[in-house]
């Protein structure tokens, strides 16, 4: 067959293949095979350019060994690189078919590694064919060989025609790839949008995003991080996952000791701030240089085999910055096409994150409002005077004055005094008199919780922070933001928690258990203790710096025995409230009993007084409030003895102290009747008799006396 006919046949086959074959690998395999039949070469390559002719990209590179070429590499396997400074700049400056000797050509570019590699592999000659499409230079077809090609002018004209067809094939392939990429982006956008609409929990959402990204961009590790740039500067790891094969994502974590070591050496994420400010792709030698510079990247380089990283900036705001990172063990895992794909999905990812954070904030606010509601209902249902303080003794007036002085400030107040003196009432009065009275007064008893739970109660915890932490929980300091927190029995705090409390007092910031996110709180702190904290500091059980930070404005409550003037108002207050609550008729108290109450030392202070009155209301049956029907009642200690008409009650009845064994109901009833008879001077019936006092029939009382063995010593009046 004449040469011209062979050329026409080749061009016809190539044109038909370009028009009918859509599979990129199959098409360029056929082109390679056809060219090999006519032109001798060992390596075929295609470079493509951007529209501005500023950057180049290797579209195809294929060694031809033997008669059957191997499959071409993936078209997206190489990134764009600048044309300036590379040998390609000479080709672009004068785009025509050329025959090049690498020895001569490389002399002008001695450091151009691709040429040096070709020469090491025995390739010394290149034939370059410009690729024109619609009058625009789109790239070069390059045929390389170990021997100098002997091409005739007819061969060169044929190569130029083939170059035009290859340009069409490359253009079609790039167009098909762009369509496929956009289709992938749309599918990804739909997947992320579905996650946005259906997933409202952090870990499932991040897993859905990571799995969707993994379908279009291969990677091993996925992360989203937030850099707080406001008053509190810190990085928060919202998600760090690893892809293991095709299975589910697993959490990637650096152990705490290694984390502390990295931070100590300046390897924290704050050190990566400049690197993570912009989107970028770091592969091969570039990533290795970063690993040398940043200890944290060196750690993942050495321990996880990471060799490439893609960074996509999610947002840059005055108070925060967010980045998405992908990393892989393949040094050439990512390229500009991958970055373009990720960038196209960022709006959906940002929307999903904002939706997640808004939902979490709503849930936290909902929980906070519910807890505040509980506290406020407790305050509303508490029946007390405006300031809650009952009495007019000089000591109490001084407390009122101290409250008025400090209530309008945000100063920390330390309330001291014996147990039962009303320290919580003072804290409530301080809160109600402060500008924060519209928010909750959050109370926590530091002695009522195990040491291992106090930190969670104060600062909250994340889901999975410890065994049993099945959901996120906000702490008391977070709940008290804008209000007041009352730390009762603060002297019981363990030493390790005292340091964390000191940080909250000084810096107004804390972290939930299981989280490295620093939270702010604007809670006014009131603390109370029945211990002498100066003694605790000397004994090493309480931090001196925390004591001085708490003791900004001390308020001391005197014990009840030192302010007997307040006992009368307290008795009247509790009698009214307790009678109503216990559904008992209000009964007056005898002057002698009131005198006895005022004379009693009250080791349990106001709390003990309240309990004594409650017990008296329960047992009283006559027209007067009775204190003799229980073993620990204080009134009988000071009551004057009456005529010994009947047996005197036993020592335990007269109140000689509570170390005696608990009495049976029979003995308790016997002592109660004896006390009534003692009060009525032996009278059983009549207006002033014991039966009326006990509110029972006289005959019934006589029967009970006989059954209980109460002996009569004088006649019944």
pLDDT tens-digit series, residues 514-531 = 877 788 889 999 999 998
Q: Between 81 and 309, whose confidence is greater?
A: 309
The number of angstroms, rounded, from the C-alpha of 170 to the middle of its chain's C-alpha atoms is 51
60 by DSSP, 3-state: which?
Answer: strand
Q: Does residue 297 have a pLDDT over 60?
A: yes
The percent of residues above 90 in pLDDT, for the chain, comes to 14
At 252 the pLDDT is 41
Q: Does residue 437 have a pLDDT over 50?
A: yes
Alpha helices, DSSP H, located in 473-590:
476-479, 495-507, 533-538, 544-550, 567-582
> Whole-angstrom Cα distance, residue 607 to residue 421?
7
Q: Is residue 365, in this structure, part of any structural domain at all?
A: no
Reading the block at residue 2, the tokens are 């004449």
Q: What is the mean pLDDT of residues 249-255?
A: 40
Reading the block at residue 267, the tokens are 């390897």
Reading the block at residue 11, the tokens are 């061009």
At 401 the pLDDT is 93
pLDDT tens digits along 460-511? 888 777 777 777 788 888 888 889 999 999 998 988 889 889 989 998 888 8
Q: Between 488 and 706, whose confidence is greater?
A: 488
> Whole-angstrom Cα distance, residue 573 to residue 586?
12
At 407 the pLDDT is 92
**Domain interval for residue 77:** 3-179
The number of angstroms, rounded, from the C-alpha of 686 to the middle of its chain's C-alpha atoms is 74
Whether residues 332 and 397 share a domain: the answer is: no
Report how many domains make up the chain.
4
- Residue 218: which region, alpha, beta or left (left: phi > 0; alpha: psi -120 to 50)? beta
Residues 6+ apart with CB under 8 A from 369: none
Q: Identify the burial level of 684 via C-beta atoms within 10 angstroms of its C-beta, where 0-12 means exposed, 13-18 middle and 19 or more buried.
A: buried
Q: How far are the Cα atoms of 391, 397, 530, 557, 562 from residue 394, in angstroms, in the given order?
A: 9, 5, 21, 11, 10
* H/E stretch holding 128: strand 125-133
Q: Is residue 665, in this structure, part of any structural domain at all?
A: yes
Q: Which residues pair with 398 in a beta bridge?
A: none
Strands 441-445, 484-488: pairing is parallel
> Whole-angstrom Cα distance, residue 6 to residue 37?
11
Most distant CA pair in the chain, distance: 157
Q: Is residue 159, in this structure, part of any structural domain at all?
A: yes
Q: Is residue 307, in this structure, part of any structural domain at all?
A: yes
Q: Taking the chain, what is the end-to-end CA distance rounded to the nearest angstrom?
A: 154
Whether residues 466 and 497 share a domain: the answer is: yes
Q: What is the mean pLDDT of residues 648-670?
A: 55
To the nearest 10°, report the CA torsion of 414, 417, 418, 423. -60
Q: What is the mean pLDDT of residues 603-616?
A: 89
pLDDT tens digits along 561-592? 999 999 999 999 888 888 888 888 888 888 88
At 660 the pLDDT is 47
Query: To which residue do tokens 């691709």 refer?
Result: 114
Lowest mean pLDDT among 237-251, 598-612, 683-697: 237-251
> Whole-angstrom Cα distance, residue 448 to residue 126?
85
The number of angstroms, rounded, from the C-alpha of 634 to the middle of its chain's C-alpha atoms is 54
- CATH code for the domain in which residue 162 is found: 3.30.450.40
Question: What is the gyration radius of the CA atoms in the chain, in angstroms?
Answer: 44
Q: Between 123 and 1, whose confidence is greater?
A: 123
Q: Is residue 313, in this structure, part of any structural domain at all?
A: yes
484 by DSSP, 3-state: which?
Answer: strand
Q: Which residues pair with 556 in a beta bridge?
A: 416
Residues 6+ apart with CB under 8 A from 589: 571, 575, 597, 624, 625
Whether residues 510 and 582 share a domain: the answer is: no
Q: Is residue 188, in this structure, part of any structural domain at all?
A: no
> Whole-angstrom Cα distance, residue 111 to residue 130?
25
Q: What is the mean pLDDT of residues 285-313?
A: 87
Whether residues 548 and 583 share a domain: the answer is: no
Q: Is residue 184, in this structure, part of any structural domain at all?
A: no
At 5 the pLDDT is 64
Whether residues 544 and 409 share a domain: the answer is: yes
Q: Does residue 452 have a pLDDT over 60?
A: yes
Whether residues 469 and 398 share a domain: the answer is: yes
The whole-chain average pLDDT of the chain stands at 77
Number of neighbouring beta carbons within 10 Å of residue 192 = 23
Whether residues 388 and 412 share a domain: the answer is: yes
pTM exceeds 0.75, yes or no: no
Q: What is the 3-state composition of the chain as percent helix, strand, coil, each rounded to the nearest 5? A: 45, 15, 35
Q: What is the mean pLDDT of residues 264-276?
A: 56
> Whole-angstrom Cα distance, residue 684 to residue 700?
10
Listed residues 558, 583, 612: the one ending a domain:
558
> Whole-angstrom Cα distance, residue 650 to residue 654?
7
At 6 the pLDDT is 64
Residues 6+ apart with CB under 8 A from 1: 9
| Residues comprising the chain, all counted | 717
At 549 the pLDDT is 93
> Whole-angstrom Cα distance, residue 115 to residue 105?
9
Whether residues 500 and 534 share a domain: the answer is: yes
Q: Identify the burial level of 583 via C-beta atoms within 10 angstroms of its C-beta, where 0-12 means exposed, 13-18 middle and 19 or more buried.
A: exposed
Whether residues 20 and 163 share a domain: the answer is: yes
Query: To which residue do tokens 């990720």 refer?
Result: 342
Lowest mean pLDDT among 78-87, 226-235, 395-404, 689-698: 226-235
Whether residues 318 and 412 share a domain: the answer is: no
Whether residues 220 and 91 share a domain: the answer is: no
Q: Does residue 717 have a pLDDT over 70?
A: no
At 547 the pLDDT is 93
- CATH code for the domain in which residue 394 is found: 3.40.50.300
Q: Is residue 373, in this structure, part of any structural domain at all?
A: no
Listed residues 125, 145, 179: the one ending a domain:
179
Whether residues 56 and 149 share a domain: the answer is: yes
Confidence class of residue 39 from pLDDT cuts 50, 70 and 90?
confident
CB neighbour burial string for 86-97, b if at least 16 within 10 angstroms, e if fewer: bbbebbbeebeb
Q: What is the mean pLDDT of residues 438-443?
A: 86
CB neighbour burial string for 144-169, b if at least 16 within 10 angstroms, e if fewer: bbeeeeebeeebbebbebbbbbbbbb
Q: Does residue 411 have a pLDDT over 50?
A: yes
Q: How far are the Cα atoms of 58, 91, 333, 576 from residue 144, in angstroms, in the given order?
A: 15, 15, 27, 107
- CATH code for the domain in which residue 699 is found: 1.10.8.60
Lowest mean pLDDT among 9-18, 392-401, 511-520: 9-18
- CATH code for the domain in which residue 324 is found: 3.30.450.80
594 by DSSP, 3-state: which?
Answer: helix
Listed residues 537, 558, 579: the one ending a domain:
558
């Amino acid at each position: 067959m004449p040469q011209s006919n062979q050329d026409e046949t080749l061009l016809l086959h190539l044109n038909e293949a370009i028009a009918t074959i859509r599979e990129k690998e199959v098409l360029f395999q056929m082109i390679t095979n056809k060219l090999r039949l006519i032109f001798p070469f060992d390596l075929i390559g295609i470079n493509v350019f951007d529209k501005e002719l500023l950057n180049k990209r290797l579209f195809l590179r294929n060694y031809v060994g033997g008669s059957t070429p191997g499959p071409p590499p993936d078209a997206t396997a190489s990134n764009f690189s600048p044309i300036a400074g590379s040998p390609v700049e000479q080709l672009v400056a004068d785009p025509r078919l050329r025959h090049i000797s690498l020895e001569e050509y490389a002399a002008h570019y001695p450091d151009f590694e691709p040429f040096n590699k070709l020469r090491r592999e025995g390739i010394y000659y290149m034939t370059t064919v410009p690729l024109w499409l619609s009058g625009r230079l789109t790239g070069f077809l390059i045929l390389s060989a170990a021997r100098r090609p002997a091409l005739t002018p007819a061969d060169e004209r044929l190569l130029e025609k083939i170059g035009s067809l290859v340009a069409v094939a490359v253009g079609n392939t790039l167009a098909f790839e762009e369509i496929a990429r956009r289709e992938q982006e749309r599918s990804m956008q739909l997947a992320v949008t579905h996650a946005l609409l259906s997933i409202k929990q952090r870990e499932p959402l991040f897993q859905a995003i990571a799995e969707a990204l993994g379908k279009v961009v291969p990677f091993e590790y996925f992360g989203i991080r937030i850099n707080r740039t406001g008053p509190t500067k810190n990085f928060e790891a919202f998600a760090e996952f690893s892809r293991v094969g095709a299975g589910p994502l697993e959490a990637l974590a650096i152990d705490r000791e290694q984390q502390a070591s990295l931070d100590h050496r300046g390897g924290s994420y704050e050190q990566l701030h400049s690197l993570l400010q912009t989107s970028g792709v770091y592969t091969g030698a570039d990533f290795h240089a970063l690993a040398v510079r940043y200890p944290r990247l060196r750690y993942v380089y050495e321990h996880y085999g990471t060799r490439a990283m893609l960074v996509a900036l999610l947002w840059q705001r005055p108070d925060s910055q967010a980045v998405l990172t992908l990393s892989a063990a393949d040094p050439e895992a990512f390229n500009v096409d991958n970055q373009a794909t990720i960038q196209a999905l960022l709006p959906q990812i940002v929307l999903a994150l904002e939706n997640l954070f808004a939902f979490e904030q709503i849930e936290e606010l909902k929980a906070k409002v519910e807890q505040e509601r509980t506290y406020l209902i407790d305050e509303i249902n508490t029946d007390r005077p405006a300031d809650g303080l009952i009495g007019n003794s000089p000591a109490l007036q001084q407390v009122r004055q101290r409250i008025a002085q400090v209530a309008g400030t945000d100063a920390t107040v330390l309330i001291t005094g014996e147990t039962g003196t009303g320290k919580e009432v003072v804290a409530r009065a301080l809160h109600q008199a402060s500008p924060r009275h519209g928010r909750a007064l959050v109370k926590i008893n530091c002695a009522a919780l195990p040491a291992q739970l106090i930190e969670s109660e104060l600062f909250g915890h994340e889901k999975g922070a410890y065994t049993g932490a099945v959901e996120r929980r906000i702490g008391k300091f977070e709940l008290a933001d804008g209000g007041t927190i009352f730390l009762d029995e603060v002297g019981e705090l363990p030493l390790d928690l005292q340091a964390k409390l000191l940080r909250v007092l000084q810096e107004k910031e804390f972290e939930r258990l299981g989280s490295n996110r620093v939270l702010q709180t604007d809670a006014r702190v009131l603390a109370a203790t029945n211990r002498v904290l100066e003694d605790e500091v000397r004994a090493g059980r309480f931090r001196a710096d925390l004591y001085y930070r708490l003791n900004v404005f001390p308020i001391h409550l005197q014990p009840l025995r030192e302010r007997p003037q307040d006992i009368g108002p307290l008795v009247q207050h509790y009698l009214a409230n307790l009678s109503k609550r216990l559904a008992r008729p209000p009964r007056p108290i005898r002057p002698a009993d009131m005198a006895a109450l005022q004379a009693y030392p009250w080791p349990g202070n106001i709390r003990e007084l309240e309990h004594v009155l409650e017990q008296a209301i329960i047992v009283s049956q006559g027209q007067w409030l009775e204190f003799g029907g229980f073993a620990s009642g204080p009134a009988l200690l000071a009551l004057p003895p009456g005529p010994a008409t009947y047996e005197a009650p036993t020592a335990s009845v007269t109140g000689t102290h509570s170390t005696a064994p608990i009495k049976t109901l029979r003995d308790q009833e016997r002592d109660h009747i004896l006390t009534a008879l003692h009060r009525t001077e032996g009278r059983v019936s009549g207006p002033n008799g014991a039966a009326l006092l006990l509110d029972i029939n006289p005959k019934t009382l006589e029967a009970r006396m006989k059954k209980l063995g109460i002996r009569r010593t004088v006649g019944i009046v």
